[in-house]
Structure 1
Amino acid sequence: AGEPGEPAGEIMKLIRQYQNEDGLASTLMLSQTYNFVEGFFFAAERLGRFQLLMNWCFEQRDARRLLEVCKRCGTSDPSLWVQALSFLCADDGDHMEEISEILQHMESSDLVPLLMVVEALEQSKGITVGAVRSYLQGQFRRLTDSVEVSRGRAGQDRQEILRMQQEIVALRTQAQVFQHKKCCQCGLTLEVPAAHFFCGHSYHSYCVPADGGCPRCSSEALPKVANRAKREAHARNAEEFFKYVQGSSGDKQIQCIGDWCKFGAFDAGSEQVAEQIDDEG
């Protein structure tokens, strides 16, 4: 396949006839040996050896082919876009067109955190704020929208919590009227002895399961109770929490803290967490 003067088209036609793993591996090796670029890219892409393609582009400083690799293989490995951006920003050449195209893709796919992109752009001496203003504005708008959505959800959660607190107080202090005439389980007329739950459901005593829970509500409540217990158990391990945070970087630390807030890290075992925070400080 490497004979001088042999048409590249004929070589590629032959290569495409052997697309099993062994054939592609041989094609990759021979193409590297004889510097047959088209065959090298064909075999490496189909074998999933995307890093080989990136390294070739880095060595050759081929920005356009680098961008093509990202477009063709970036869906399978999104980190290729990050590598491409970092390389182009650090390289001395004029790659503003390619950088702009990468930023457009990152913005549309929400591929990389803003801070990581900014850190990559800092490596370039020729990039100005004006050149990436569109990307930055889009990211800040997205962050603003995200904050507004989070505030709205927080407000809804507070209202729901208040409603539940009021309901708990009412259950403790006010009489509950049960008006069901039929069992909510079997549908037959209720008779003594009957079981009434604060959720408003009533049953024959023999229709209540052995665990004593409301048959209608338990199926919904039990998974939530189990999930809460799991989160609280997770949250009590303050040492694991701080390892989790320290193992992250940049804005990912904020995301990690947010994840642990959902686990209830600052609800259960809060004294242990507070002591750890003091030690870290």
Structure 2
Amino acid sequence: VDIDVTRAMVACQKYNFKGGVICLYDKAKLYQQILQYQMDNKDNDEIVATCRKYGDEDPQLWIQALSYFSKLKSADGCRKEIQQILKYIDENDLLSPLLVIQTLSNNESTSLDLLKDYLIRKLRSEQTQIEKDQTEIRRFRQETGDIIKKIKTLETGPTLCQDPKCSACKMDLDLPCIHFFCEHSFHEHCAYAIESATSSEIIYECPLCSGDNRKWLDLINSQRPDKDIHETFHRELDKEQDKFGVVAEFLGRRLFDKE
């Protein structure tokens, strides 16, 4: 049955039919209007319930509710509601701690005790994140140091290939064979041969490492020709979360070598 929403709303408001008003707002997905209607009628018990019902679709409802309760003369009397709202805001990172404090500090009757549980949770969470970040920093530094040492060793010293078997077919190596800096060794016919783009020379690449190597080469070649490797490097650095990994990969592939 088609309903004239405007006329129905007027009738519901005229006869103070709260259920009808909320039903019409719900039908129109006007969730903030539902919350505002409950605030205007001081239906404090229903406000948090409305946030729980519609908050996933419209997280701003929680912030709207916090602002409402913070302005009540007896905010401490709504301790349970405020703490429920703060818990959701904290878990979903809807507001920074500073904005939460500023919102609640607008009311002189709000005590610090009202914020105690929220602040304790937030400080513990921040401390846990700091400890995780410090652990990651130490790990990245160690990995970067190890990679730099390995690169220097490859550049200045010999690489010993001690495996007597082909890394592909696992048969004993015999001449002609090819050894790579990655310490993999192959019969000549087991290694990948590709033609040089600048000469008629045949270049061999490690079959086991070629996929990873080509991933980075394709990445570089896919960039616009007027962009040099340094711009590619900074673009990847901005995009990837593992920034030390990007640095290590570019160094390891010798992508910054001067011609």
TM-score, reference length from structure 1: 0.64
In structure 1, how many angstroms separate the alpha carbons of the residues matched to 2:102 and 2:79? Answer: 16
In structure 2, how many angstroms separate the alpha carbons of the residues matched to 1:156 and 1:235? Answer: 18
Structure 2 CA distance for partners of 1:124 and 1:38, relative to 1, 3 Å: same
Contact 2:166–2:185 (8 Å) recurs in 1: yes
Query: Is 1:171 matched with 2:154?
Result: yes
Aligned-pair CA distance for 1:112: 3.4
Query: Is 1:73 matched with 2:54?
Result: yes
Query: Is 1:125 matched with 2:101?
Result: no
In structure 1, how many angstroms separate the alpha carbons of the residues matched to 2:113 and 2:92? Answer: 22
In structure 2, what is the equivalent of residue 216 of structure 1?
A: 208
In structure 1, how many angstroms separate the alpha carbons of the residues matched to 2:28 and 2:183? Answer: 62
One-letter code of the match for 2:143?
A: E
Structure 2 CA distance for partners of 1:142 and 1:224, relative to 1, 3 Å: farther
Q: Which moved more, 1:159-168 or 1:32-41?
A: 32-41
Deviation per CA, 1:162-200: give whole Å up to 9, x if none: 111111122222221112333323444444333322111
SS in 2 for 1:32: helix
Q: Give matches, 1:1-281, under 5 Å.
A: 26=3, 29=6, 31-35=8-12, 36-45=17-26, 47-92=28-73, 94=75, 95-206=78-189, 207-208=191-192, 210=194, 212-223=204-215, 226=219, 230=232, 232-233=234-235
In structure 2, how many angstroms separate the alpha carbons of the residues matched to 1:168 and 1:30? Answer: 77
Q: Which moved more, 1:182-191 or 1:193-202?
A: 182-191
SS in 1 for 2:164: coil
Identity of aligned pairs, percent?
A: 23
Q: C-alpha root-mean-square deviation of aligned residues, in Å?
A: 3.5
Query: Would you tell me which structure has more helix in proportion to its own residues?
Result: 1
Aligned-pair CA distance for 1:102: 1.0
Contact 2:74–2:109 (8 Å) recurs in 1: no
Structure 2 CA distance for partners of 1:117 and 1:193, relative to 1, 3 Å: farther
In structure 1, list runs of 5 or more residues that go unmatched.
1-17, 237-258, 268-281
Find the structure with the greater CA-based Rg. 2
Aligned-pair CA distance for 1:106: 2.9
Contact 1:27–1:43 (8 Å) recurs in 2: no
In structure 2, how many angstroms separate the alpha carbons of the residues matched to 1:28 and 1:93? Answer: 37
Aligned-pair CA distance for 1:132: 1.2
Contact 1:28–1:40 (8 Å) recurs in 2: no
In structure 1, how many angstroms separate the alpha carbons of the residues matched to 2:4 and 2:205? Answer: 67
Structure 2 CA distance for partners of 1:167 and 1:262, relative to 1, 3 Å: closer
Q: Which moved more, 1:43-52 or 1:96-105?
A: 43-52
Aligned-pair CA distance for 1:76: 2.3
SS in 1 for 2:117: helix
